[in-house]
């Protein structure tokens, strides 16, 4: 089922994001996580796609596993990184063969050690080009785009960032999943800018429970998300107490999720980092 159809349900859409495991131990962990989180009846789950296409095969394998073994609707990530148009066309054929109906189309991050994004030969420079290409080659697929409540790290002007997002919607994207954020005001302001710019597709907020102090600081430095001062101070106060950090992270995410649901969001998308424990506790309290 397409994400756009899932978003028409009366209740808010529930979704998770996973990354492909790199070794047998991580595979076992992901199987356990999927088994645990399936109990909450997610509407869909997305699977990330590594830089330089390094884990494309594993990504597509897990897309298939999620659909066929777990019976959950998958959303495959597809990026512009290190892939020509011909290669992307082959990837689309492969995904179609797997029965995939949904794609999250992204420009993708530069590979590690590379400061700026360099488009591949005969490839795409922008996500909007990839989105348009998917629409022309696989018109039956439902395509989503990424949104950035605090602006993309390479686009400091928030209004300009929304203009770029509008171009992705005009190219065929049918819904938006946002980057993580820790202050809901950023999300609500982002939605307001989008609506004023004529972006009327569903916007799903992305939430990431904090499970490690160093980890979340590294992630936010990479994506440009802000850790509020009070939360930052809490994390620093308990930086060596992993149990306390997880508790702080869960409380923060629960607080955000409750407020977002109160304000009638289209759904909640959790970046689970392939761990079920934090999300399970949050969802039990949310009762969705």
- Going residue by residue through the chain, which has 288 residues, state the pLDDT in tens, using 9 for 90 and above: 999 999 999 899 999 999 999 899 999 999 999 999 999 999 999 999 864 444 788 899 999 999 999 999 999 999 998 889 999 999 999 999 999 999 999 998 766 666 677 788 899 999 999 999 999 999 999 999 999 999 998 898 999 999 999 999 999 999 999 999 999 999 999 999 999 999 999 999 999 999 998 899 999 998 999 999 999 999 999 988 999 999 999 999 999 999 999 999 999 999 999 999 999 999 999 976
pLDDT at 53 (0 to 100): 46
pLDDT at 241 (0 to 100): 93
In degrees, rounded to 5, the angle at the alpha carbon of residue 283 between the alpha carbons of residues 281 and 286 is: 115
Phi, psi (rounded to 5 degrees) for 207: -120, 140
Identified catalytic residue from 17, 73, 150, 174: 17
β-bridge mates for residue 269, sequence order: 15, 206
Whole-angstrom Cα distance, residue 205 to residue 184? 9
Whole-angstrom Cα distance, residue 25 to residue 29? 6
Phi, psi (rounded to 5 degrees) for 178: -90, 160
- DSSP H helix total and E strand total for the chain: 11, 8
pLDDT at 50 (0 to 100): 63
pLDDT at 120 (0 to 100): 82
pLDDT at 61 (0 to 100): 94
| Neighbour tally for 261: CB within 10 Å | 15
| Neighbour tally for 102: CB within 10 Å | 24
Whole-angstrom Cα distance, residue 42 to residue 226? 28
Picking from 81, 146, 166, the residue whose alpha carbon sits closest to that of residue 118 is 81
Buried (b) or exposed (e) across 41-78, using 16+ Cβ within 10 A? ebbbbbbbbbbbbebbebbbebbbbbbeebebbbbbbb
Picking from 82, 70, 74, 69, the residue whose alpha carbon sits closest to that of residue 18 is 74
CATH number assigned to the domain covering 3-286: 3.20.20.220
Entry field: residues in the chain: 288
Whole-angstrom Cα distance, residue 50 to residue 30? 17
In degrees, rounded to 5, the angle at the alpha carbon of residue 75 between the alpha carbons of residues 85 and 281 is: 145
- Is 17 one of the annotated active-site residues of the chain? yes
Q: Is the pTM of this model over 0.85?
A: yes
Phi, psi (rounded to 5 degrees) for 174: -110, -10
Q: Give DSSP secondary structure letters for 82-98.
A: T--HHHHHHHHHHHHHT
pLDDT at 52 (0 to 100): 44
Residues with Cβ within 8 Å of 23's Cβ and at least 6 positions away in sequence, in order, are none
């Amino acid at each position: 089922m397409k994400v756009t159809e899932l978003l028409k349900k009366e209740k808010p859409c529930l979704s998770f994001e996973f990354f492909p495991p790199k070794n047998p131990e991580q595979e076992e962990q992901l199987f356990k996580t999927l088994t645990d989180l399936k109990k909450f009846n997610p509407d869909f789950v997305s699977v990330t796609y590594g830089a330089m296409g390094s884990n494309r095969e594993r990504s597509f394998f897990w897309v298939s596993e999620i659909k066929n073994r777990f019976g959950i609707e998958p959303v495959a990530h597809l990026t512009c990184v290190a892939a020509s148009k011909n290669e992307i066309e082959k990837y689309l054929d492969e995904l179609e063969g797997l029965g995939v109906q949904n794609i999250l189309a992204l420009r993708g991050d530069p590979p590690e050690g590379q400061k700026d994004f360099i488009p591949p030969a005969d490839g795409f420079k922008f996500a909007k080009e990839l989105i348009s290409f998917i629409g022309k080659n696989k018109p039956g697929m439902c395509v989503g785009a990424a949104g950035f409540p605090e602006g993309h790290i390479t686009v400091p002007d928030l209004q300009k960032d929304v203009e770029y997002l509008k171009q992705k919607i005009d190219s065929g994207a049918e819904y938006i999943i946002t980057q993580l954020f820790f202050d809901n005001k950023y999300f609500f302001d982002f939605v307001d800018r989008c609506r004023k710019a004529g972006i009327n597709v569903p916007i799903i907020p992305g939430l990431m429970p904090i499970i490690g102090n160093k980890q979340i600081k590294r992630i936010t430095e990479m994506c440009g998300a802000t850790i509020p001062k009070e939360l930052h101070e809490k994390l620093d106060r308990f930086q060596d107490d992993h149990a306390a950090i997880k508790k702080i992270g869960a409380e923060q995410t629960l607080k955000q999720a409750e407020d977002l649901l109160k304000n009638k969001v289209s759904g909640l998308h959790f970046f689970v980092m392939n761990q079920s424990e934090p999300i399970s506790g949050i969802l039990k309290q949310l009762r969705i």
